[in-house]
Amino acid sequence: MRFMLIRKADAATEAGVMPSRELAKAMMDYHEEMGRHLKILGGDGLHPSARGKRVSFRDGKPLVVDGPFAETKELVAGYTLVEADSWDQVLEWAKKWPCILEEAEVTLEIRQVYELEDFGDVFTGEVKEAYDRALGQTRS
């Protein structure tokens, strides 16, 4: 099963405050150790929403809005995508997130990623092949 650990934004991440060396090392150590127990598929930190854009669709027409965006607590500051055997395994690692004083309030949201099989017969045959081509890989 695949899961995404979503690190929610806060005032510091939205202000573009870079982590201290201590926090950067703690994060690298955390991911290195987690990688010994879970398969890490990807992950990155994100620039503040002030450097982002949002595309909304109304009546089928796209509308582009420049950041920053309100409601900081709803924004994403970064993510880690992992493969794990269970929710319990992912939660065990989420609880080990390296919080140090400069990050007194961290919120992680964990979401399970849909697999093609979850969609039943929607992703079969040509649709699955097109999906695999779009990803540039073959999924089993």
CATH number, domain with residue 58: 3.30.70.1060
Nearest to 90 by CA among 47, 44, 41: 41
pTM, entire model: 0.84
32-80 pLDDT, tens digit each: 999 999 999 999 999 999 999 999 999 999 999 999 998 877 899 999 9
Q: Which domain holds residue 102?
A: 2-115
What H or E segment, with its residue span, contains residue 39?
strand 39-45
Q: How many domains does the chain have?
A: 1
In this prediction, residue 117 carries a pLDDT of 83
- Judge whether 126 lies within some domain: no
Average pLDDT of the chain to the nearest whole number:
90
